[in-house]
Amino acid sequence: MNDRTERTFNDRRRTFLRSLGLAAGAVVVNPAATLFGGSPVGRPGTHPSITRMPRIGVLVPDTSAGQYGGEHLMSGFACRLDETFGKNGGTPALVVEACEKSPYAAMKQAAAMIESGPIDILVAPLNADMAAQLHSVLEAHRAIFINVDIGANIPRETEKSPYIFNHTLSHWQASRELGRHAVERHGKKVMIASSLMESGYDALYAFRTGVEDAGGTLAATHVTHGLPSAEAVKAVIAEIRQAAPDVVCAMYSGSEANIFVKAYAQSGVLKRIPLVASSFAVDAHVPGSFGTSTDGVVSCRAWSRELATDANKKFVERYERFAHHRADAFSVLGYDTAALIVEAVRSAGASRTDGSELRAVMAGLRIESPRGTITMDAATSTIEAPVYLCEAGRNGVQAVIGTIAPAQAMPAALAALQAEGRSGFSHAYLTA
């Protein structure tokens, strides 16, 4: 990184932290009040019997332009702490920094935060191979690491550590189930259109295994957006028209999703070749930004605002009053991360909140979430949760049309990946 690039990054980093009401390395004693300055809402009448909360470090992802993953993740995190403790309930101290963009720099930043301690729990988005490099420092300082990301990659056996827990939005699991749904609903011949970024994660391969398990065939995978190019998208749509598959899967996010999905609908191909999509391909942060292009498009995702459970309805109402913006999957990810920490502390006991005690209770921990029952699997140290088939409608609505429980065992084709070395991108999806 040259001097000019470093100055640009640091300027952007300070701007991002200011958007959260923080300074770099800020120590936040009451995160809800400091981050959002409003009156906390929805807190219960009694506080849990926790006399010492752990000291928590958080590296907040500064996501790509036009996306709000980091801000919403932190909003959800603070909302859940406020729900438990309120203004007067012994809220834990937080050390909050904007996460470095470079995967290696982010890993070194995480290690430095633990070493400068005392940090009992560190929450950050790292790819699993980078997170594994924290094992020694976590062991030395008796700390635990909660790796928060969407779950686009399958952790390898060599990346496991008893000090590292993966809390995700089950993206590769959802992609696999979407592949099965595509074949079962539309037919056996399937094509994928993917951005360059999406192609570098295991979720794309997981979709393929779902297609094949359902008796389908992946006819072709086309990758666009090596550089933003309307011509590249037109060329892929022309190939789809000629190949005439039974269904196409769009694996995109952000502005690239907007470009492809709109172009596909406007080309007229959608009228005869249906489209399914990864959750972030039709997950507009601003309702209506896709127009009617996504109407009827099915995706599979960890959470929907329209999930009709009491827990989810209460979460949406509480969160949106608290944070003053629309809840999304990143909001739930942050909310559930804080919930896991609170429940781990409760289970460990009021006087035993260092990393060694929390590590013992985190494995196998189960909580009720806005997205259903989620469990930190003791064998894999990775969250298990249901995923939902959703059909897109007007104004950003994602109507739930099916619920899929966590798989009881890793599918054989994907289990083979666990023993292999990793290829693909080293960025966590949230920081890509």
Interval 171-210: pLDDT, tens: 999 999 999 999 999 999 999 999 988 888 899 999 999 9
247-283 pLDDT, tens per residue? 999 999 888 888 898 899 899 999 999 999 998 888 7
Cβ contacts of 149 within 8 Å, gap of 6 or more: 125, 126, 127, 166, 168, 169, 428, 429, 430
**What DSSP state is assigned to residue 151?**
-
Domain parsing of the chain, residue ranges: 3-170+309-383, 172-301+387-431
The mean pLDDT of 232-258, rounded to a whole number, is: 92
Distance CA 268, CA 307 (A): 31
Asked whether the domain spanning 172-301+387-431 has the same topology as the one spanning 3-170+309-383, the reply is yes
pLDDT interval class at 5 (50, 70, 90): very low
**366-369, strands of its sheet edge to edge:** 366-369, 372-376, 383-384
The pLDDT assigned to 15 comes to 47
The pLDDT assigned to 411 comes to 79
23-50 pLDDT, tens per residue? 444 545 444 444 433 333 333 333 344 4
121-124 vs 144-149, strand pairing mode: parallel
6, pLDDT greater than 50 = no
**Range 172-301+387-431: architecture per CATH:** 3-Layer(aba) Sandwich (3.40)
Count of CB atoms within 10 A of residue 204's CB?
A: 22
Q: Say what the alpha-carbon torsion angle 415, 416, 417, 418 is, to the nearest 10 degrees.
A: 60
pLDDT interval class at 312 (50, 70, 90): very high
pLDDT interval class at 224 (50, 70, 90): confident
pLDDT interval class at 430 (50, 70, 90): low
pLDDT interval class at 221 (50, 70, 90): very high
The pLDDT assigned to 281 comes to 87
213, pLDDT greater than 80 = yes
Task: Name the burial class of residue 260, with classes exposed (0-12), middle (13-18) and buried (19+) by CB atoms within 10 angstroms of its CB.
Answer: buried
One-letter amino acid of 384: E
Rounded to the nearest 5°, which phi and psi values hold at 395? 60, 35
> Which of 225, 206, 207 lies closest to 154, judged by CA?
206
Query: Does the domain formed by 3-170+309-383 have CATH 3.40.50.2300?
Result: yes
**What DSSP state is assigned to residue 59?**
E
293, pLDDT greater than 60 = yes
